[in-house]
Amino acid sequence: MRSRGFTLIELLVALAIMAIISAVAVPIYTQYSVRTQRTNAEKDLMLCGQSMERLASATFTYAGHVGAGDTGVVTPNICVPTTTVYTIAVTVANANTFTIRATPTVGSLVATDGLLEVDASGAQRWDRSNDGDFLDADEARWGH
């Protein structure tokens, strides 16, 4: 009687197939996760922007709503961000305008994904090239 089992070649072929599948699946999953986190940050920026508009409609100014000053990490009176991999902060706030920025957290999955911004005019910017500005082509809007 012959004993039945797998040969070394069969096991190596199965291992090679699993390695190929992993090599394709992991980057796709990572890209999907980054896109999901970016979308969450965009949602938070829009909610914070809407809240700034609400506050300004009551006080006739965008200034003075972030803690004790005009700029800094958003406070609960503005909004409560749900993202954990971006820091949401008001970078400009005066009588006539505001800018809210989402900065990727160092060491996180999105660390090299670039800044996101929204301002009082509704402009949405994404630093796709992650060079610290919004001057490159196709950075004047969000998009995936």
Examine residue 3 and state whether it is found in any structural domain, yes or no: no
- Look at residue 81 in the predicted model and tell me its pLDDT: 95
Q: Give the model confidence (pLDDT) of 24-47 as tens digits.
A: 999 899 899 999 999 999 999 999
Examine residue 2 and state whether it is found in any structural domain, yes or no: no
For 34, the domain range is 8-126
- Look at residue 70 in the predicted model and tell me its pLDDT: 78
Examine residue 45 and state whether it is found in any structural domain, yes or no: yes
Residues contacting residue 118 through CB under 8 Å, at least 6 positions apart? 45, 46, 48, 49, 99, 100, 124, 125
User: Rounded to whole angstroms, what are the CA distances from 40 to 11, 45, 99?
Assistant: 42, 9, 18
Examine residue 140 and state whether it is found in any structural domain, yes or no: no
Examine residue 27 and state whether it is found in any structural domain, yes or no: yes
* pTM exceeds 0.85 for this model: no
* Number of separate domains in the chain: 1
